[in-house]
Amino acid sequence: MSKALPLGPAVIDPVGLSLSDEDRERLTHPAVGAVILFAHNYESPAQLRALCAEIKALRSPELLICVDHEGGRVQRFRNGFTAIPPMRKLGKVFDSDNARALRLAEQAGITIGCELAAHGVDFSFTPVLDLDYGASSVIGDRALHAEAAVAGELAAALIRGLASAGVAAVGKHYPGHGYAIADSHVAVPYDDRPLAAIMARDVAPYRPAIAAGLAGVMPAHVIFQQVDREPAGYSAFWLRKVLRGELGFHGTIFSDDLSMEGASVAGGLVARAHAALDAGCDVVLLCKDPKGQDELLAGLGEARANAKRWERMRARRGALDRSTAEFRAAAGAIVELA
């Protein structure tokens, strides 16, 4: 019997292909609201469906399930799933054929969304809205384009495709990681540009993405030195004033993984979580660190998340699925592009 328990603000990952007793104990902690899956949680489509069903049977309302499923280098589920090309391929198509690129972007969203929803996954951390400045190796061909207007158009089409399959989209890494050279997984990145330059270019793709129905945003562990001394994910200026205020975003704000080096400036794991939540994040992620997750959950206690924002992230039943001709056409087009 599932346990009646409101959803909390923490997102964590299980250790393996099925739930251990330790996983079950963590996932029924009041502070947990969702589960993020990685390649180490995936073996086959049948195994993934069983794992997702096992997770959803634990609690009521069901825990949400999410994944980084962008395509290219960042696609956690491969065997049995359509190979999604790096998003930069869409940008290259756009340079020669705008209409075809936008059609392909929507088809990529349909393909990703239908396949994830069919296996029990609710939402994906995509699209990457960072611009391709040619400087950041961790972004690189994950970026749709170097031009803000093009990236915004393509992202909006991708979001519409995901939505038609019933799957929510989370854009990242706000306000932009493409200019900062350092990889925030292993270092603290800095961006020394003035606010006006960041707003004019890096923030610009978020406007059409939000208009297209972007459900979530993940801020970067990047410090924009001329704007705020804190990384964007710990910055009330970036989250409350700009994202909520100026851009009018009303969806869910997710921290990036708190185990990353870029998050370390706030102190220990619990301090990092509170820094993110205090700045305006609704949800915090901690991945691939079971002991750290125990520490985080103890520190968060009975914390609850915004229920309406969480529910917006849940996959909608009855949307396009893998049996439709539209899905088959979309997946065929993406296979050809890849």
Per the CB < 8 A criterion, the answer to whether 256 and 212 are in contact is no
Copy the structure tokens of residue 330: 């979309």
Catalytic hit among 130, 132, 191, 256: 256
Copy the structure tokens of residue 303: 């914390």
256 is catalytic: yes
Catalytic hit among 141, 185, 289, 294: 185
274 is catalytic: no
Distant-in-sequence, close-in-space partners of 267: CB < 8 Å, separation ≥ 6: 275
* Three-state DSSP string of the chain: CCEECCCCCEEECCCCCCCCHHHHHHHCCCCEEEEEECHHHCCCHHHHHHHHHHHHCCEECCCEEEECEEECCEECCCCCCCCCCCCHHHHHHHHHCHHHHHHHHHHHHHHHHHHHHHCCCCEECCCECCCCCCCCCCCHHHCCCCCHHHHHHHHHHHHHHHHHCCCEEEEEEECCCCCCCCCCCCCCCEECCCHHHHHHCCCCCHHHHHHCCCCEEEECCCEECCCCCCEHHHCHHHHHHHHHHHCCCCCEEEEEECCCHHHHHHCCHHHHHHHHHHHCCCEEECCCCHHHHHHHHHHHCCCCCCHHHHHHCCCCCCCCCCCCHHHHHHHHHHHHHC
Question: Which residues participate in catalysis according to the annotation?
Answer: 185, 256
